[in-house]
Each structure stands twice: as structure tokens, then as C-alpha cells.
Structure 1
Amino acid sequence: MPGRQTVRFGGDYNPEQWPREVWDEDIRLMQDAGVNLVSIGIFSWALLEPEEGVYDFAMLDEIIDRLHAADIDVDLATPTASPPAWFYRRYPHSRAVTRDGMPLAFGSRGIVSPSSPEYRRAATAIAAKLAERYAQHPAVVLWHVHNEYGTPVTESYDDASVTAFQTWLRKRYASLDALNAAWGTNFWGQRYGAWEEIDAPRTSGTASNPAHRLDFARFSSAALLECFKAERDAIREHAPQPITTNFMAGMCPSVDLWRWADEVDIVANDHYLSAEQPDNHIHLSRAADLTRSLARGKPWILMEHSTSAVNWQPRNIAKRPGEMRRNSLAHAARGADAVLFFQVRAGQKGAEKFHSALIPQAGETSRKWRESVALGADVAALAPLFGSRVDARVAIAWDWESFWAQDLDWRPSVDLDHRERIEAFYAALWRRGVTVDFVHPAADLTGYDVVFAPALYLIEDDAAANLREYAAQGGTLAFSYFSGIVSTNDDVPTGPYPGQLRDVLGLVIEEFLPLRAGEQVTLSDGRRGRVWSDDIELRGATSVAEFADGPGVGRPAVTKHSFGDGAAWYLATALDGADLDGFVTRVLDSAAVDYSPLGDVESVVRRGDGVDYVFQINHGAQDAGAGISGHDLLTDKSVASDDPVRAGSVRVVAVRHGQP
């Protein structure tokens, strides 16, 4: 962003919800808290364009000028996530339609049909008007297109989407013969003789064609991306500032963000804790690492998170003292150069009035406000690390298309859960103190010592070749069960499972042996597995542990195969807790990966020019040793290697390269 080169602090500001006398108080409080960036205009379409083609920017002019006078920069949003009532009245056929055929009405938030030509026209028109008016305003340092694409609606089954889907399929397959072959339409007599016969995969009598549904998921993600690109390009005709949109990395499973990340100038993410999860700080770190990975290692923006409770979970648990600080600085530790919240001031009306904010409804005397001010000072103290980066030597494979395919109907077990397995492996690495990148399986893997693939059901040909080459050149792969089973169109390659991985794993699977609900199996090394087992025949791999009981008794449960200069591991059941930790540790040790478990202390390094910035975040109830000396940015004091990290606290220690 242009302007100040420092870590940004602020949030989503909605002055349209308040009378003007409150604006003055808001700005004063923002200055007290050290706010230097706010996002405005996200849900203001009805105010900015009260009638089609009639624009009123008076409110926006005034608030942007006031913020600029207060030295607060603006992330200016296009308001296209919430079309106004006149749009729904004038273009009722543009409403999004569910798979069951229900049109979604006005009165909430979200998007109309992303394939609606009327929506595309109206959205790009207001984006262009905003850019034309504010491109040269000195307060505007960033453009924010739409809001949380894919939430709450990704797939729409309206007529415009069906027509656009048919066009997308023509481009992808070129001929109906190619489509029929790819989709296997001879099964159940589903063959198509004209493009117009192809509908969206609506709810039908039983399981739908999985290739049809997978392609519709691909199309739906692409349709939303085209909406973003249309608005982005309309802004770019007038404005030089960077353009972004706020992802929901790790929370919105229906958008392929690998493709999206290349289309934004800066990657931005929204993240909200699953409040009832006891280890939600680990899931926070996972989302932050995924966002940094989408940014290809560059610094990124935490566009939204919460100061305390949200309003939309079954039980909206408030954050305890110090938790907001730990959450915020954990995002910064993993690459965020902006720490922003939804929202600046807590609302009084509407569906989100119970959502926490920087300025809570309890006001300036509250603990939450005092914590907001203190956090602003902490973020300001991080200025020296602005632009520094996080390095990782271990990666986890992450592929949205594989997830979409695995989640379709009629898999071998209802207990197959790709998200759960990735979270389990990530948590095991977190407990070892290992910083993790996420990678697409077809991406460059040469910088990693180990790549884990806990859930990679679908592997395309280029990804399979890439993984084999990585292992052949000395890398270590570690796969979990039900990986490499299908290719591009959810089709099983010829021969035994796992078709794309047979050679690199040095084994074949003759039959899946899923377990009954609650059933466990024992391994020969004493570990306990659940959910799954395989009937494995070794084809070059070595058995590290076998099933001691269960349907796969006597068959390999853990294998290792030397492949070229590297190796590939396979785990044929779901291990948890210490059992999974043991497997992960063995893989890390085999690849000579350094790691240093610190219990409840999360330790992450951001590398600057000649300086390492070591974040140490104690999530536990006891003081903990961390064994590092240097200068703590947050206290502006030196720390010695025997100074503990206090329970619930954070420190950011600047260490010169070469200093112990």
C-alpha cells in the first residue's frame, strides 16, 4: 500500500449506521487506539446508488475527508456483496437459486447470481464510479472488491448460471464426445446429444454424476472470480492503488483460492475462531499459514477477525483476557502486515449487533476497550519487522478440487474427512514447533524437506508427475489413506489403487477396508487407529508397522519406500494425538528436519534484513522457558535466554543474524 511503511491496525468501519455526531467520537477513539487503516463502504450500495444510475457520494465524501484529516487511511470497498432492494425488484430473475430450486430473497447479505448479466453490469458500473471519484484522494491506499466471495452463496442454479455453465463446458471440452467421455455418461444412460441438454446438477432422485458436480464446482468458483476481475478491471482504469478482496481461507471450502491469489495485488484474509474448540489457536495458525502460502510467502493483510465473540456460531464464546492479543500477534507472526477487525464500533441494529468490536457497546471503561488500545500500541511496536517474511521447510498439500471431489456422494465411508485429517497433521507439526507452508501438489516443491499429504484423494497427471519428481530429487513425501485414488474427472485410473501413486509409494491396495463406527485397530507398534485400513501388497516398499487386528490383520499399516534420492511414507489408518505425533516425528527425523517442541509456547520466526524477529506466544497457564536472548519489540527491553515467557503473554524478540 502507498503511504506509511508500517504494520497497519484498524478494521471495518460503518459510519452509515450512525448519526454524524458519533463520527467525531469514533475518530477520536480510533486515534486513541492507534488505528491507521479502516475499510469503508462494504455494505453501502443502497446509499451510494439509491436508484439505478443515480449516485450520491455526499456521505462518502465527508467521511473520507474526516478520516484523512485524522491521519487514518482508507481501504475503499465496492459495495457489491449486498445489492439494493431496487435491484431485486427490477431483476428478480437474477436471484441466486439453491440446488433444490428455491430462489433466495432480498433481506440478508450475500450475492445474487454471479452469472447474471444485470448484476455484472451494475456491479462494474458502481465500481467504476467509485474509482473515478476517489482514485486520487490521498486517504485511499487500497481498494477492496466485494466481501468474502463464496459466503454465503457460491453455487447458483438459476437460468443464467446454467447458460454460463454450458458455455464454460464448451470451452473446457470443445466437443460433446469429449465431455461424454470425461463424465462417463454411458453409466446410467446419462449421455448428452446437445449442449442445451446439460443442466446444473440439481437435486435428483439419488446420487448425481460426480464428474458433473465436480465441474459445476469448478465453474462456480470461476464465475465468482470473473465477477471479481470485472470489478477490479473497472477500478484499474482509473486507480493506481493496489486492489484486493477478503478471502475466507480455511473457512470457505467452495472457492479455489490458488487461482484467486494470482488475481489480487495483495492477499487478504478474514479469520474467525471456532470459539468452542479448545485448541482453536492451532486452527488460527493453520489459517494464517494457508493465507501466507496463498500469498506465495509475501506479507498479507488480516482484513477481519474479532476482538471477542462473534454472533453467528451456536455458542458465541467471549475471548478471555489476553486472548485477543495472542490471536492478533499470532497472525502477525505468520506473515500479516495488517491486523484489522470486524468491526470498529459495535452495532445497535441488525443481525450482527452482538458481534464484538474495537469500540464495544460497554464503551471506554471496559476491559475490551483497554485491550484494544494496548493492542494498537503493540502493533505500532512491530514497525521494524514490516515486510519481513516467514520461511518454512515443511509443507502440507492442499487442493480445493480434491476436497470437492472427496465430499461428493457415495464414498467408501462417511467418516472420510479431509479437513479433519489435515487439521490433525497440522496440529502434530504445530506441537513439534514446525512452521508449515501449504502447497498445491502441482506447485514447485523444491524448497521443502518434507511434504505431507494427509488428504489428497484426487491427483491430476501433472501433480502426480510433480510429486514423483520431488521424491526422486531427494524430497520426503508422507501420504495418509484414501490418497491418489482418482484423477481429473473423479475417474479411477486403470489398475489397483492408488493409481497415480503406486510407483512412488511402492505398493498397491487391493481393497479398501473401512472400519465400523467407533471401531479401532491396533498396530504392531502399539499405536491405535480408527476409520480406515487397507489391504496392501508391497511392491518395493518396506513395512514399518502392521495391523495387529481388525480387517487388515497382518497387512502393512505404515510403509516407507525409497524412490530415487528420496522417500515416500504411507499411513493406512487414522492416528490421533500422541500416536500421530509419533508418526510425524519419525517422518521428520528421517528427513533430518530440525524442530523444537516448546509445549504451549508457539514460536515463529519472521526473517528481516540481518535480523530475525522471533514471536513467542504462550497459550498456557504456566510460565515457560524459551531459551532466546535479544530485544523485545513489545516492551522495548532486552531479554535473556533464561527469562521465561509469562503465562498468556507474547514477546517479539529481535535477534541479529549469528546471535544465539
Structure 2
Amino acid sequence: MAKSIRNDRLQLGVCYYPEHWPESLWSDDFRRMREMNISVIRIAEFGWAILEPEEGNFRFELFDKAVDLAHEYGLQVILGTPTATPPAWLTEKYPEVLNASREGVLFRHGMRRHYNYSSAKYRELGNRITAKMAERYGNHPAVIGWQIDNELNCEISEFYAEADHAAFREWVRNKYGTLDRLNEAWGTVVWSQTYTDWGQIYLSRPNPGQSPNPHLLLDEKRFTSDNAISFAGEQADIIRAAAPSQWITTNGLFGRLDNHDLTEQHLDFFSYDSYPQFATIFPEGGVEPLMDRRWGASLSNVRSVSPQFCVMEQQAGPGGWVNRIEMASPRPGQLRLWTYQSVLHGADMVLYFRWRTATVGTEIYWHGINDYHNRPNRRVRELTQVGEEFTRLGELAAGSEYKAGIAIIRDYDNQWDAEFDVWHGPLNGQSVKSWYKQLQYQHIPADYLYLKNDTLVEDLLRYEVLVYPHPAILPDERAAVLEAYVRQGGKLVFGARTGYKDIHGRCPMRPLPGPVAGLCGITVEDFTLIKGTVEAPLLQWGAALENVKTTGGNEIRAAGFNDILSVEAEDVEVTAVYASDYYAGQPAMTKRKVGQGEVWYYGAAFSEPVVDKLLEWLGLESPVKEWLTLPKSVEMGIRSKDGQDLIFLLNYSGEPIAAASSRPVKDVLTGNMLHGEISLPAYGVMVLEQ
């Protein structure tokens, strides 16, 4: 069972840095927090140089005062282990703790996350400061929990120090046991790469083509994840021994880290840092981009780890680094909107980053709730409103679960393989974006579901429909679980290039789509990349295989990549064919009923019109369609507990919108009863209770 935060009410918090501010400000800060219904602070995650200014000289006075004073004001405290920012004395005295680029250039002091997880000395010193802190605060009545490090693998997720090469060598030796097995897995017979001694093995290194062995590279990413998990696990074990009544988490998501395994092995629940405006810095292409609304997809990823989680850092103002502001000031209502976006998707504790904007350092443009002048502003007033609303919503929402009838499947093997196999990543990105976007616009709540080696069919049967867009790597064991899901009544949708690699990233000599060819009742007769001067072919589909057109009359094309399908089983229904190019008339999409369920295969990347058609055929509709009419700009989602649904309506538009309810409903945030026409202001939020 997934691990979740166990709150009996929603809680608001804030990240606070007592070391940055005169002690004379602390009491006023804590008083104002309580007036805003803020009840939790996170401190110390960057405080190693304060806690241990010289090697072996531990100084707790500053944080003792801060924790004690927080307790006086009724604030609970989350402590961060400070290993994301080693002090200068440490990196100067022990350069072996530093991370390095693939070229072997060391990363030096002056930023953060410039250490490597493999250094025995860094683990020793990091574990020591963790132990000292746990001994000091493990029984403090204000301290409720711990954050391990800060944003593991943020800034950089590649590690090439000498200690990392040695640790990787040991990792592959434990995994494969013999060089023969390693050589087989990595296909080293190609280009005379065969290893004859363990000492010849390194992480990927520079070479003339900058093209490392792809199978080695896939294992390199698995090693990086395991190494980070081991690093965090040592700290977690220390804290758990000294502070058994305090919970342990860490904040992510970042690259090359299996957050599910990390949480299962070492944490009580997972936490996240939510900055929706990143989606406006790097907006998706196409018509009607989801923008900050797209951030719900990231929160859905977190929910797949912990159904109820903590947002350790919630965006509280405009953002940027020391030399630039990248994010505009949140418009009136957006901070409240983003807070409820997090709550809808599973956050039972939300901490804003940060209480007051830094006046020095790298983050002087990364604004908090309060500005430099420390006087009341509209962000303070807006979040004070949220604090008041949490007193009404808190017990109703806490512990409730997000309700979804469809899930988009993901897995780490394909995620990591797609970093190097660069055509596959964008293909999958387009398909996932198309599914998530159209589900949003049709007000159909969706989950992300990570497929793991220990996933059971019972984990899948919670969903009416599963979409696995492009699982290039698909081991037989996972395919068997998917087949059991279909046979027991599930509807499963695959996309192009399914199942053409094994767990090592090799291409087996078997017909595509590999281990699910028999389930789908098809094979891939031919295939082609759609790129450059190659035009995507038109589609035809339906009972009469008519030309597919959008509502605007534009013909739909099969984008990205085309698998040309061959029907192998008599009960396969061809639901679409290619209507142009040399394979015109050949199957593009198929459906097959298997047991009590059905499996679909589409030989291209999913586009928005194709998703709309599939949703119609799959019979998926909004769970509130019969009584609630909503415009596309509104996200609708449901959190449910003990048979009681809370229906969240989030307006991402800068304009007021009109909705309509044919049933009497109560807006929990205001206590008002609503029936008939409903008005939501720009960036407005409602939480309805029937």
C-alpha cells in the first residue's frame, strides 16, 4: 500500500530561515504566521555552516532559540538535514566529496548540490550532522518531522567523480555476478567493447561520437537512483532510531530517481515542490496550451507515490535567480488557485516558499509571501483568506482520495531510456500531453500510474481505462499483468513502438509489439518515422472507415511514427486505416475484446482529435456530466472520503466564467448554497459538497 501523510486536517505552513534574519524579527514573524492560520514551518535544510562552523564544533544555539520560540507560538517544525549545502571547510579539506562532470572537472564550492553520493567521507560527515541534529531535536515537542537533504538530484542528476566510478563498478558486479552476464546484457560484442576485468568498467565517459553504450547508460541511470536512495536511507535510519515518533520525508521530483522505491524503502510519505509558473516559462506548443493548469500533471505524478502528500514548497510570488526574474507576479487570485490545485491533487499539507523574500544571495528574485520591505501586501491578504478557508475545509478534505476512472501508465525504465533514445521521449511527451489535455478539457479526472516489477493486477483494476502510450521497454512480466487486467474487464490502450526493447534496452528477435502481440492479435508489418519532408498520412476510421475530420473540418493525420499493422487474430476489429502514403489502406488502429475487457493499439503518436475519438469509443465521460455544466477553462476534480465527494472547481481563466448545476450544492469555502447558474471569478475556486 502506498505511504501517505496522515493528517486529520489540512495544514498551511511556510519555509523559514531564522539564520537569514535578526532575532528581533522572529517573534513578529511567528505572530503574523499564526494570524494567517499557518501552523508549520520548515527550517535548517541549508544551515550546515551554522550548525557546524568548524569540523567537529557543533553549535545549536541559533536553531535551539528558533525551535523553542516557534513552540511558544504554537508552530510545528519540520527540520531539514543540511546535506544539500556542505560548508566551505568541508569541501576545501575533503575535495573527494565533490561531484564531477563526465569530463572529470570537479564542481566547486559556491552553489549547492556539488557533492557526490558515493563519497565515503561525505556520507560519514553527513550522517554525523544528521545524528547530532536527531539527538538534539528527536524529542522536542515542536518537531513533527524531517526532510532528508533537499531536492535530491536537483540542479544535476549526473555523477562522475572517481568515487562514483568505483561505486558503479561495485553496483554492476553485485547485479550481474559475472562478466559474461554483464557482457551479454550490455551487448558488448558490438565494436569490441567486451570487458575482461571488472577494473575496466566505468560510468559513461567522453568518446569521439559522444554516444555511449546505450545498455550501460540505462544501468548508469539505475545506479544513480539506487545510490541516491542509499544516501537518503542512511540518514533516514539515523533519524528513525533517535526520533521514532517523528515522520521522515523528502522533496522531489527530479531526474534519475525512483521516488516510489525511495518512499517505500525509507520514507513515511513523499513531498513535492510546486511551482506552476514553470509551465509558463516553458509552455507546451499547439493550440490552447494548458499553461499553469498543466502543473496538475506533475502533482498527479506525486500522487502516484503518496496519494496524500505534503507540498514542501508552494509558489508564493514571482520567481527568478540572482541575475534574472523569470516568472511574472502572480495575478490576484492565482496564489489561492495554485494552493487549491495542490490540495485537489492530494496535498494535505502545503508550505509556501518562503515567508520573506531574501535580501541577499542567489534567490533575491525568488519572492516569498512578504516582500523585502516586510509590510503587508496583497499576497499576504490572499493567503490569509486561504488560511481562513482551511478552517472550514480542513477536516473534510484531509485523508480523502482523488477519484479517477482512467490512468496514464508510466515507468522509470522508459523514462530513463528516453533521455538518451531522443526520438522516443518527444513521441511519448506528445501523446501524454494530448491525453492529459483532452481529459482536462472534458472534465474527466485522471491519475498517473507507475508500473513497477511488483505491480499487481489488483492495482490496475481500480481503473476502467489504462493508457500506456509508448512502452518501448516492456518486459514479459509486466505484459502478463497488463493481460490479466484486460481479461478481468479493463480497457487498455497502447501506442506506436510498444514492446520493442527488453529490460536491458536490447531489441529481441520477435515480432512487434513484442510481449503483447498475442494480446493485441496483431503484428507490426512495417514502420516509419514521420519527420522532415515525410508527411504524416491521413486517417480513415469508423464503421465505414470514413475520413476523419475535426469539428473544424480539418483532416486528421497520424503523427510522429507509423506502425503499419497486420491482423493476426480473427476477432481483431480494424477501427482506423492509413488513407495516404505507400501504406494507404493498411490498419492504423485496432481493437480486440479479450476476456471481459478490450485492448486497443494505435500505430502513431496520439493527437488531441484522436484522443477525443477514443474517449467517445471507450465510453469515458465526466462523472458530473449529468448535472454540472462547465466551460473548458475550469478544472474539475473530486476528492472522496467515507462516501462523501468534494468537487473542486478551479478557474484558470483571467475572466469570470459561468457554470450551471441542476442540483443544489454547497460551496464549502463560503457556506453558500448554489443551484442553477454559478459564477466563478477570474482564477476563482469552489469546493462543492452535495
Q: What residue in structure 2 maps to residue 533 of structure 1?
A: 562
Question: Does residue 1:578 correspond to 2:609, yes or no?
Answer: yes
Q: What residue in structure 1 maps to residue 536 of structure 2?
A: 520
| Matches for 1:549-588 after TM superposition, within 5 Å | 549-550=580-581, 552-588=583-619
* Alignment CA distance shift 1:440-1:402 (3 Å): same
CA distance in 2, matches of 1:293, 1:189: 42
**TM-score between the two structures when normalised by the length of structure 2:** 0.89
Corresponding residue SS for 1:624? strand
CA distance in 2, matches of 1:314, 1:579: 39
Question: Does residue 1:257 correspond to 2:259, yes or no?
Answer: yes
Question: Does residue 1:228 correspond to 2:232, yes or no?
Answer: yes
Letter in 1 for 2:412: W
Aligned residues of 1:360 and 1:368 also touching (Cα < 8 A): no
TM-fit CA distance, 1:241? 3.3
Q: After the TM superposition, list the runs of 4 or more consecutive aligned residues in structure 1 that deviate by more than 4 angstroms.
A: 1-4, 592-595
Q: Deviations over 1:373-396 (max 9, x none)?
A: 222222333212222222322111
Question: Does residue 1:625 correspond to 2:659, yes or no?
Answer: yes
CA distance in 2, matches of 1:253, 1:488: 19
RMSD across aligned C-alpha pairs, in angstroms?
A: 2.2
Q: What residue in structure 2 maps to residue 76 of structure 1?
A: 79
Work out the percentage of aligned pairs sharing the same amino acid. 29
Q: What residue in structure 1 maps to residue 200 of structure 2?
A: 197
Aligned residues of 1:528 and 1:575 also touching (Cα < 8 A): no
Q: What residue in structure 2 maps to residue 408 of structure 1?
A: 420
TM-fit CA distance, 1:370? 1.5
Q: What residue in structure 1 maps to residue 407 of structure 2?
A: 395
TM-fit CA distance, 1:508? 1.3
Question: Does residue 1:47 correspond to 2:58, yes or no?
Answer: no
Aligned residues of 1:360 and 1:369 also touching (Cα < 8 A): no
Aligned residues of 1:244 and 1:268 also touching (Cα < 8 A): no
TM-fit CA distance, 1:341? 1.5
Match among 342, 366, 372 for residue 331 of structure 1: 342
CA distance in 2, matches of 1:404, 1:588: 33
Letter in 2 for 1:625: A
Aligned residues of 2:10 and 2:393 also touching (Cα < 8 A): yes
Q: Deviations over 1:329-366 (max 9, x none)?
A: 01111211011121111101111111121222354342
| Matches for 1:629-640 after TM superposition, within 5 Å | 629-640=664-675
Q: Deviations over 1:575-622 (max 9, x none)?
A: 433343223332344xx8857383222222211234222211122324
TM-fit CA distance, 1:314? 7.9
Which range is displaced more, 258-267 or 379-388? 379-388
Aligned residues of 2:427 and 2:605 also touching (Cα < 8 A): no
Letter in 1 for 2:268: D
Q: What residue in structure 2 maps to residue 384 of structure 1?
A: 395
Question: Does residue 1:373 correspond to 2:381, yes or no?
Answer: no
CA distance in 2, matches of 1:2, 1:217: 29
Question: Does residue 1:612 correspond to 2:645, yes or no?
Answer: yes
Q: Deviations over 1:452-481 (max 9, x none)?
A: 012322112221111111112221111122
Q: Deviations over 1:195-232 (max 9, x none)?
A: 11101111222221111000010000110000110000
CA distance in 2, matches of 1:616, 1:595: 11
Q: What residue in structure 2 maps to residue 658 of structure 1?
A: none
CA distance in 2, matches of 1:305, 1:2: 17
Q: How many aligned positions are there?
A: 647
CA distance in 1, matches of 2:151, 2:451: 25
CA distance in 1, matches of 2:389, 2:413: 39
Letter in 2 for 1:463: R
Match among 293, 296, 316 for residue 327 of structure 2: 316
* Alignment CA distance shift 1:380-1:93 (3 Å): same
Corresponding residue SS for 1:528? coil
Aligned residues of 1:449 and 1:593 also touching (Cα < 8 A): no
Which range is displaced more, 82-91 or 315-324? 315-324
Question: Does residue 1:304 correspond to 2:313, yes or no?
Answer: yes
* Alignment CA distance shift 1:242-1:529 (3 Å): farther
CA distance in 2, matches of 1:43, 1:405: 33
Match among 457, 462, 475 for residue 460 of structure 1: 475
Corresponding residue SS for 1:397? strand
Letter in 2 for 1:523: L
Q: What residue in structure 1 maps to residue 158 of structure 2?
A: 155
Q: What residue in structure 2 maps to residue 603 of structure 1?
A: 636
CA distance in 2, matches of 1:156, 1:288: 27
TM-fit CA distance, 1:125? 0.8
* Alignment CA distance shift 1:183-1:74 (3 Å): same
* Alignment CA distance shift 1:551-1:44 (3 Å): farther
Aligned residues of 1:458 and 1:485 also touching (Cα < 8 A): yes
Aligned residues of 2:370 and 2:377 also touching (Cα < 8 A): no
* Alignment CA distance shift 1:101-1:622 (3 Å): same
Corresponding residue SS for 1:11? strand
Q: What residue in structure 2 maps to residue 361 of structure 1?
A: 372
Q: What residue in structure 1 maps to residue 179 of structure 2?
A: 176
Which range is displaced more, 604-613 or 47-56? 604-613
Question: Does residue 1:492 correspond to 2:507, yes or no?
Answer: yes
Match among 18, 21, 33 for residue 18 of structure 1: 21
| Matches for 1:11-160 after TM superposition, within 5 Å | 11-160=14-163
CA distance in 2, matches of 1:453, 1:179: 30
CA distance in 1, matches of 2:363, 2:429: 28
Aligned residues of 1:528 and 1:579 also touching (Cα < 8 A): no
Q: What residue in structure 1 maps to residue 447 of structure 2?
A: 437
* Alignment CA distance shift 1:244-1:236 (3 Å): closer
Aligned residues of 1:10 and 1:344 also touching (Cα < 8 A): no
Q: Deviations over 1:527-578 (max 9, x none)?
A: 2232221222122232211111235422222221222221111222234333
Letter in 2 for 1:65: D
Aligned residues of 1:618 and 1:650 also touching (Cα < 8 A): yes
Aligned residues of 2:15 and 2:43 also touching (Cα < 8 A): yes
Corresponding residue SS for 1:290? helix
Match among 476, 482, 494 for residue 497 of structure 2: 482
Match among 471, 476, 482 for residue 486 of structure 2: 471
Letter in 1 for 2:567: L
CA distance in 1, matches of 2:221, 2:326: 31
Corresponding residue SS for 2:50? helix
Letter in 2 for 1:428: Q
* Alignment CA distance shift 1:294-1:102 (3 Å): same
Which range is displaced more, 53-62 or 567-576? 567-576
Q: Which runs of 5+ in 1 are unaligned?
A: 656-660
CA distance in 2, matches of 1:95, 1:2: 34
CA distance in 2, matches of 1:14, 1:195: 47
Q: What residue in structure 2 maps to residue 239 of structure 1?
A: 243
* Alignment CA distance shift 1:594-1:316 (3 Å): closer
* Alignment CA distance shift 1:578-1:281 (3 Å): farther
